[in-house]
Amino acid sequence: MDYLEGLNESQRKAVEHTEGPVMVIAGAGSGKTRVLTMRVAYLIQKGVDPFRILSLTFTNKAAREMKDRIGNIVGEGEARNIWMGTFHSIFARILRVEAEKLGYPANFTIYDTDDSKSLLRTIIKEMNLDDKVYKPNLVLNRISSAKNNLLSARAYNANTTIQSDDVQSRKPLLGKIYETYERRCFKAGAMDFDDLLFKTNVLLRDYPDVLYKYQRKFRYVMVDEFQDTNFSQYKILKALAAQHENICVVGDDAQSIYAFRGADIANILNFQKEYPDAGVYKLEQNYRSTKNIVSAANSIIDKNKDQLKKEVWTANDTGERIEVFGALTDNEEGSNVAHRIFNLSASEAMPYSDFSILYRTNSQSRSMEEGLRKLNIPYKIYGGLSFYQRKEIKDLLGYVRLTLNPADEEALKRIINYPKRGLGNTTVERLVVAANTAGVSIWDIITNPNQYQVQLSGAVRNKLNDFVTMIQSFQALLDKKTAYEVGHTIASHSGILKELYSKKDTPEDISRYENVQELLAGLKEFSENATADGSSSSLELYMQDIALLTDVDKKDQDDDGKPRVTLMTVHSAKGLEFPFVFIVGMEENLFPSQLALNSRSELEEERRLFYVAITRAEQKAYISYATSRYRWGNLIYCEPSRFIEEIDSRFINEVPGTAGKGVSSTMTSKTATATRASVMPKPRNLVTPQAAANKPGNFAGDDLKDLQVGMQVEHERFGKGKVLNLEGAYPNQKATVFFQSAGNKQLLLKFAKLKIVS
């Protein structure tokens, strides 16, 4: 058992407790991945069949790294047999085996977000609905939320409370859209990401023999990042572990930050209630950060009431205190950050890849990018367009998807006239109408146009026949050729390579062609590795891997390995670490977000998000804020975030914020000097004079029961504004108000203090 010698006492106990329920509460940087890895290896060395172990992660990258480490201990052959991967990849694997029970083909397509939105846009258009009211993104989120709460379209429409809410929000047909979306996905032989969990729950609920089969199969169930699980995931875990109850969950309630995706912190907070005899182990030693960073983070998270108490500590050096600095504007803030990075990199000989800039929203990247560009500092942004979301890549993969599943309506519509072959929108619309009328797929229509009596000219019929023949020729290769060979044939014979090669007039054109070549290179690597491993090199397996890439996995695909400063939202930074971290935009109504100030639970999640941001730093953390920034095209005045004041003063160093270069040339020297003085952080009171002037005083709001759209109102901070929209029923009514000083604001009337002016 030499491989266990490097574990501390708590880690070792968590590894060796293999029977019965176990909860491992893992503080930031405490080595939880190591514990999970060693636990699996320990089970195998004890004689447990790897096929009986189910280990669930939240990224494919984490699963790959864990398998590699386990392979080094117990051998690659054993490691390969573990059922280890993301929730979606593991349950997609099960669904492909059991798909026919649910009426799906084994090679069902997995729709990504773009596919789902495209289908919803089509449905909304067909129903003659206003897409400004029924926004595809909003509708998809509503459907996603329903599925994560295990509500089918039928159950959604039967729920009177939900129907009443939809009527009050002036979207009474959401249920009808959901019903149509569900039906069209089924007809296309497609599941979206939420379906992979929803349908697994249906499978385990409606087919006891299937449930029993997988309960027997998975004797040991392990879950990483348990605090991020939603209701649907929890139900699956509870069902699978019900027979043996050898369930081990690892997580940190202090890093539960995905409520907007449906994650339920109650899953980890209530685990001991569900399993009273569970063994509980706390990993409290932080191996990542300095004492100052760890202590500062502890002082922040201690303010939350809903938590599993632990005291994270570290044996690392004390390190420097967290530096807090202010700026006049968001542009000046970007300049300040860029100058500090430039100077640190030069003086400490640190590569730019050691630096990360974290912000609450993607829109904040602009001022940071401008600051970095002015100093020629290379950077990369996480959260931009991933490799697999580029048009040329989605076009080629559209051909691949249709080859594998001809019923895939979204793939067919995407590529039926690309490259152009004289099958325009009018033809496609006729095919769609015919398919919907007959209740069949578009592929059924174009392969049997006479049977369905579609009005098409002879020339169009010939072009459709050519298209069908081409796709069928690709299908004939699936069982005979590797993924690369089929993919290269599709790229060549579809005309995509020729189309892109003939349009290489600009750097963007060249990049598109090179991207397709890169995808083909990836197919070749996949095929060669599969051949070497003795595993399947089928195109179907490759597409399954691509469809289930997580956000983190997609980021890795775009990383060219050059040292660059990393810019990302705090949500994207979860699980990452950097020597130097800059947390920017630390202002009220930005971080914490104004949308998260309606309840204590929402505020506590924002605090956990700040905790995650601080704990990404290994050596030094910086916090910055601006006293004014442009939002929605208007200049607004800001006050420093309440979270800054919550940090114990022993662990921060408040310094002048301006770099001396960011003041607008239109400001007079006297004004600039006065304003600069106002943004200097105060010893323990970070409220600027402007913010102080805006603080609530004796402002008393009116009774808003009779508030109507179009009324003029006055807010204690934002001044006068006009009511643009009202949603819901009083007192739980939400108003959208346009303020001249702050742009559009969404306010809950039971919390907002508004005076009705006229």
The catalytic residue positions are: 32-33, 224-225, 255, 616
Which of 384, 387, 305, 375 lies closest to 341 in space, CA to CA? 375
State whether the Cα torsion 189-195-201-202 is positive or negative.
Answer: negative
Contacts of 162 (CB under 8 A, 6+ apart): 151, 156, 175
Evaluate whether 297 touches 596 at the Cβ level (below 8 Å): no
Tokens matching residue 171: 């979207």
Contacts of 103 (CB under 8 A, 6+ apart): 186
Residue 358 φ then ψ, to 5°: -110, 140
> How far is 434 from 438, CA to CA, in rounded Å?
6
> How far is 320 from 299, CA to CA, in rounded Å?
16
Query: Distances in Å between the alpha carbon of 303 and those of 254, 589, 603?
Result: 11, 19, 11
> Burial, 386: exposed, middle or buried (Cβ in 10 Å; 0-12, 13-18, 19+)?
middle
> Burial, 455: exposed, middle or buried (Cβ in 10 Å; 0-12, 13-18, 19+)?
exposed
Scanning the structure block, which residue is given the tokens 């339920």? 264
> How far is 166 from 143, CA to CA, in rounded Å?
12
> How far is 622 from 616, CA to CA, in rounded Å?
11
> How far is 217 from 406, CA to CA, in rounded Å?
33
Compute the chain's Rg from CA coordinates: 28
Which of 108, 408, 87 lies closest to 230 in space, CA to CA? 87
Evaluate whether 329 touches 661 at the Cβ level (below 8 Å): no
Residue 715's SS3 state is: strand
DSSP tally for the chain: helices H, then strands E:
34, 22
Evaluate whether 274 touches 266 at the Cβ level (below 8 Å): no
What single-letter amino acid sits at 371?
A: G
How open is the CA angle 539-50-53, to the nearest 5 degrees?
A: 90
> Burial, 443: exposed, middle or buried (Cβ in 10 Å; 0-12, 13-18, 19+)?
buried
Helix 193-206 vs helix 231-240: angle between axes, to the nearest 10 degrees? 40
Sheet holding 279-283, edge to edge: 83-86, 53-57, 220-223, 247-251, 22-26, 279-283
Residue 718's SS3 state is: coil
Query: Distances in Å between the alpha carbon of 263 and those of 234, 266, 310?
Result: 10, 9, 22
> How far is 695 from 676, CA to CA, in rounded Å?
20
> How far is 366 from 371, CA to CA, in rounded Å?
9
DSSP conformation letters of 636-694? EE--B-HHHHHS-GGGEEEE----SS-S-TTS-HHHHHHHHHHHSPPSS----HHHHHH
Length of the chain as a residue count: 758
State whether the Cα torsion 8-12-15-17 is positive or negative.
Answer: negative
The count of other CB atoms within 10 Å of the CB of residue 137 is 11
DSSP 80: H
Which of 199, 258, 204, 275 lies closest to 550 in space, CA to CA? 258
